[in-house]
Amino acid sequence: MSLVKNQHYVPRFYLRNFCNSKEQIVSFDKINQRCYFTSIKNVANENYFYENEFIDQKANVEQYLEKYFHPLEDRIAKLLRKLIRSFEDDSFIILDQDSRADLSLFLIYQFVRTKEVS
């Protein structure tokens, strides 16, 4: 498996909910004070954002954090699609215990997936 270079701190499955039909999202350039459309590949990411030699060595896995987030994000992406559909068709669902635990874990990770914490 090749190394993942472009690592998102806000997952692309989440960003897609704010895209237009071309999978573009509005981005704001703070320096030039302007808004523009860009691909979700270009926002909320950084090259090798999760690289941490200590964690990788301790876990004995290359890119441990990137690989750790992937299965959880897959589960949350499915859950989010299910929740959105239930809101759209007025059939709101009550989440089971495992789904609530996954969602809680995902929200916690989103709080710490920042440059300030990393």
Q: What is the pLDDT of residues 9-54, one digit of tens each?
A: 899 999 999 999 998 999 999 999 999 999 999 998 887 777 766 6
Is 83 within a domain? Answer: yes
What pLDDT sits at residue 15?
A: 94
**Of 72, 80, 77, nearest in space to 113 by CA:** 72
Residue with tokens 């495992």: 98
pLDDT at 1 over 90: no
- CB–CB of 87/67 below 8 Å? no
Residue 3 or 27, more confident: 27
What pLDDT sits at residue 55?
A: 66
Is 118 within a domain? Answer: no
Hey, which residues does 8 pair with through a beta bridge?
45
What pLDDT sits at residue 9?
A: 87
Is 54 within a domain? Answer: yes
Give the structural domain span for 19: 6-112
Is 64 within a domain? Answer: yes
Burial class (CB in 10 A: 0-12, 13-18, 19+), 11: buried
Is 117 within a domain? Answer: no
Is 61 within a domain? Answer: yes
24-29 and 34-39: which strand pairing?
antiparallel
What is the model's pTM? 0.75
| Separation CA 58–CA 65 (nearest Å) | 12
Burial class (CB in 10 A: 0-12, 13-18, 19+), 101: exposed
How many domains are contained in the chain? 1
